[in-house]
Every structure is written in C-alpha cells, then in structure tokens.
Amino acid sequence: MDTEFKTVYWHNGKVKMIDQTKLPLEEVWIEFDDYRDVAEAIRTMQVRGAPAIGVTAALGIALAASRFESSDTEKLIGYLTEVGDELAATRPTAVNLFWAINRMNDFIRSNRNMDIENLKNAIIKEADSIQSEDVTRNKALGGFGNELIDDGDCILTHCNAGALACAGYGTALGVIRSAWKSGKKIHVFVDETRPLLQGARLTAWELIHEDIPMTLITDNMAGHMMQMGKVQKVVVGADRIAANGDVVNKIGTYTVATMASIHKIPFYVAAPTSTIDIAIDTGEMIPIEERAAEEVLGYKGNNWARDDTSIANPAFDVTPNHLVSAIVTEKGILREPYNESIRDVCREKTTLA
C-alpha cells in the first residue's frame, strides 16, 4: 500500500473501490456501473469514513451523468438533483457527504449553458477533482499534524481515519504517516472499535502495510493503557464538527477524549475543513445515526448474543470542544476558542472555493 493508494476513484468510466467489508482478510475491488449500487455501497459501508463517502457520492453523481441518455440539459440537472438527494439519504451524520453533493450541484448549475456532452465530461472531471483534492488536502493536513507529534510518542487512535476513510492518505492516519515518514519513531495503539471493528480491520491493515509499529487493543483497554502511562497523544478523525468545535465521531470517541483529558494526554482531531458544518452551532444538534441490532449481537452474522437481546447502536457520539486540544486541518491547526478559529478558517474556505 503506497502513499498513492486510492480508496475510491473513477476508472474506465466506472466507479471503483476497495470493498472495506472484506478487509483485512481479503482485498476485493469492486466496480460500479449504476449510481444506485454506489448508494447501496455507502449504506452497507463497503465504503465508509466521512471524506471517503463524500468523494464516493460525487463519483456516484458523475456515474449517473455519464449514463444519462436524453440530450436535454435541464432534464439532466433535474435528474442529477434527484440522484444527489438519493445519495444524501444513505447516511445522516457525516457532513462531507452533503458538502460533496452540494459542490457537484453548484458546479452543474453554474455550467448549465455548456453543451450536454461537454457538461457530462466536466461533471466527471469535477468528481475526479474532489477525489484528488482530498488526497492533496490530507497530505497538507498530515504535514501540519506532524508538528504536534514528538519522536518516541505512542499515539492512540480510534476507528479508521486512514487512507480508507478518505480518497487516500488519511486524516488521523495522515498525521501518523507524516510523522513516520519524517523519521519519528512512533508506536500506534489501535482501538478495535466495536461494533464494526474498523480499527482491527482497517487501521491495523493500513499500519501493517506501512510497517508502522502498532498494538491492537479492545476499546475498553484504551483507558488502562493511558493509566499505565503508555499513551502520549491521541489522534482521531471526525464525521462532523460544529461551529463551536464540538466533534461528532465514531461511538467511543467521547470516552477516549474524556480519558485522555483525565490523564493530561493531548487529544487531537484531524479533519479537513469540509468536515466543519458552520451552520450547526453545537454538537448536540447533529443527528446521530442509529444502526441495526445485528451489528451489536455479533459480527457478520456470527452471533454471540441471543437474537432476542435488546440493544442500542448509536454509530457516533459527541465530544465537547473543551476536550479537544486542537483540530488539525489542511489549512493549519485550529485551537480554542474554536468559535473564532473555525469562523476564520471557514471564511477563508468560502473565499478560496
């Protein structure tokens, strides 16, 4: 797995991705011909991770455009709006999904005067740009994040905010990759991240591929490792960040952040600015996806709890801003007060975009 690894991309007129539900035991690549199958792949988490599902949705719109058969541009625009709505309905929490769909819609509308074949090609090119910009952004983010890591650090991460969560390179793992490539001797503690085990399956797979030293632990061991003095930094990704710096990320992140705070360990969130939802004041206003019971009852149909067991399965939780030591973005490191640092970076984002 080199640094140019792509999780999801446009390939020979199709959308191609690695099937993350099969990792790490099998490396299966799938190609999609129909945007509805792309939507289903997001829903079933064959592709997951906030930036990655944004990129995938953009590619899904490009796929729908490329297969559109009428020569009526307005019909195409109406159709792609519906396609965007369908893709937006796949998962409710990550804002990058909506960000990417909005960007595609804006692009399409502002180029409505183009000849339809040129417009279709431009749409594909735009989705492709979202893909490649994501990787560029993560490398920039990784560079900033590297400044926060010391030689010899043991870094704990939760879930997968790696290349697999993005178009490539990763956010939290982008920081770790950058630190490792810059020659720092680091070690990574990987929370397995129940119920879907993205840490055990995806983060561990990425780190093993790059020979970065790591230790896989169950989620309930993280606090113990901190207590034993074995963790110097925590770096995680984010699915959505509110205007005040509250962070919505994989279930368990709030507990990791609280335990880090108790042990005076810096807790860093690595996320592109597209993860920031300036329209949302605080974390509690962000909808938290509740997923199916079977994920908690076992793993992939191999159940260890009885079918009649009542469960809860919130996919995310909210880490309040006061637990966040810094937010690492592609534009630099944001610190408290987040209301101000986020407002400033988002103003810049609007200006540059």
Distance CA 326, CA 236 (A): 11
Chain-centre distance for alpha carbon 339: 22
Does residue 22 belong to the site contacting a second copy (CB under 8 A)? Answer: no
Amino acid, res. 335: R
Q: Are 232 and 153 in contact (CB under 8 A)?
A: yes
- For the window 240-269, what string marks contact with a second copy as x by the rule CB under 8 A? -----------xx-xx--xx--x-------
Nearer to a second copy, 214 or 234 (CB): 214
For the CB of residue 236, give the shortest distance to a second copy in the complex, in Å.
12
Integer Cα distance of 44 and 47 in angstroms: 8
- Indicate the residue among 199 and 332 with the shorter CB distance to a second copy: 199
Q: Is 33 a catalytic residue?
A: no
- Told to check if 350 binds a second copy by CB under 8 A, we report no
Interatomic CA distance for residues 9 and 125, integer angstroms: 11
Quick one: 24 or 143, whose CB is closer to a second copy? 24
Interface with a second copy includes 282 (CB under 8 A)? Answer: no
Residue 141 in contact with residue 270, Cβ under 8 Å?
yes
Which sign, positive or negative, has the C-alpha torsion 232, 138, 109, 73? negative
Q: Closest separation between CB of residue 285 and a second copy, Å?
A: 14
Of the pair 89, 262, the CB lying nearest a second copy is at 262
Catalytic residue, from 134, 153, 219, 239: name it: 239
Instruction: Between 312 and 353, name the residue whose CB sits nearer to a second copy.
Output: 312
- In angstroms, the CA 353 to CA 346 distance is 10
Q: How far apart are CA 25 and CA 280, in angstroms?
A: 39
User: How many CA atoms are closer than 13 Å to the CA of 76, on its beta-carbon side?
Assistant: 28
Partners of 29 in the β-ladder? 18
Q: 236 pairs with which residues across the strands?
A: 269
Contact 101, 90 (CB under 8 A): no
The contact pattern for a second copy, residues 304-323, with x = CB under 8 A and - = no contact, is: xxx-xxxxx-x--xx-----
- Size, binding site for a second copy by CB under 8 A: 51
In the window 181-240, what residues touch a second copy (CB under 8 A)? Answer: 191-195, 197, 200-201, 204-205, 208, 213-225, 227
Active site residue ranges: 239
Q: Return residues touching a second copy (CB under 8 A).
A: 24-25, 191-195, 197, 200-201, 204-205, 208, 213-225, 227, 251-252, 254-255, 258-259, 262, 296-297, 299-300, 302-306, 308-312, 314, 317-318
